Amino acid sequence: MPNGTVVTEFLLQGFSDGWDQQILLFVLFLGLYLAALVGNLLILAAVAFNRRLHTPMYFFLGNLSLLDLCYVSVTVPKAMAGALTSSRRISFSACAAQVFLVVTCAVAELALLTVMAFDRYVAICHPLHYTVTMSRGACVRLAAGSWIGSAVCSALHTANTFRLPFCGSNVVAQFFCAIPQLLRLSCSETRANELVMIALGSLLDGFCFALIIASYGCIFSTVMRIPSEQGRYKVFSTCLPHLLVFGLFIGTASFTYMQPTSTSSPALDRLAAVLYCLVPPLMNPIIYSLRNSEVKACLWTMLGGRLFPTKNSFLPRNP
């Protein structure tokens, strides 16, 4: 757009302009999106309808699945629609809403992963105090604090971004509205915005990272004293994938949001965005739940009885 023109809509750049590549990306994104939806919906259904899973750990897993459903639905459907129709326009208000929702989901994801690490720490290192420490009220407060705190943090970043004037180019070098790419389009000084984003991000990431490392450090220290080799293997095989997903999420998100916008690479930013927006909602159900024998048993009971009913289910019931 020519200089001096007020921006009323943005154009999302996407990954490719070729029709063949766009169709390939649409099919790829559709497959990953459906896999993330099915996995998280299964976990939500299992936690909601099975009383055996009404425990603090599965309460947080249910919150994480609900969050991942929202997270993956904020960005991927719009990217798929743009790849299929070649219409990448997004209104100013829709872009602001997308920024708010993306940041809310990202911060809430980090907070919930930290809370879940603390929950595992209490369960393994202080099992006698678990029911008191992780009471129903405490779990609700921790989950609500994660959601509300992330919304407040997101509102601050969103307001700080969209108070800037946009009067130059309207092409966002990303497949969704992201703050670093929007700051490049502003026709005013954005150094203060970058400093606020880096300062708050460093504080939040450092705090959550320290808590998670401390929690898992205590867990590993306790597990090493377990005489059973099978017990140690079970805990390690559960905790290490958690740390892997957390490291991937916080690493790619920090790479995108905490580097100066003048030195960032659009191609690397898009790749990092896929890793922190799509991979966690896709992998969390597998790592946190579907590898769990109790969750698999509940899902088999819930789905298997409907898909493969036994002969007894066809017998008439006594009046």
Amino acid 122: pLDDT:
92
Amino acid 310: pLDDT:
46
9-12 and 171-172 strand pairing: parallel
* pLDDT band at 311; cut points 50, 70, 90: very low
Amino acid 312: pLDDT:
45
Checking if the pLDDT of 290 tops 60, the result is yes
Out of 126-135, 176-185, 188-197, 235-244, which region has the weakest mean confidence (pLDDT)? Answer: 235-244
**CA nearest neighbour of 72 among 27, 108, 15, 33:** 33
- pLDDT digit string (tens) for 150-174? 999 999 999 999 998 888 788 888 8
- pLDDT digit string (tens) for 75-108? 999 888 887 877 788 999 999 999 999 999 999 9
- pLDDT digit string (tens) for 240-271? 777 887 888 888 887 777 776 666 677 788 88
The structural domains of the chain, with segments of one domain joined by +, span: 9-305
Checking if the pLDDT of 316 tops 50, the result is no
Higher-confidence position of 101 and 200:
101
Q: What is the dihedral of CA 13, 72, 215, 202, to 10 degrees?
A: 30
Residue the block writes with tokens 């930290």: 114
Q: Are 123 and 270 in contact (CB under 8 A)?
A: no
Average pLDDT, the chain: 83
- In the chain, what percentage of residues exceed pLDDT 90? 28
Out of 40-54, 179-193, 303-317, which region has the weakest mean confidence (pLDDT)? Answer: 303-317
Alpha helix (H) residue ranges in the chain:
19-49, 56-85, 92-125, 130-133, 136-162, 179-185, 191-223, 229-257, 266-277, 279-284, 293-299, 305-307
CATH (residue range 9-305): 1.20.1070.10
Checking if the pLDDT of 34 tops 90, the result is yes
Q: What is the DSSP letter of 170?
A: -
> Residue 10: which H helix or E strand, with range?
strand 9-12
Distance CA 74, CA 84 (A): 17
Amino acid 305: pLDDT:
54
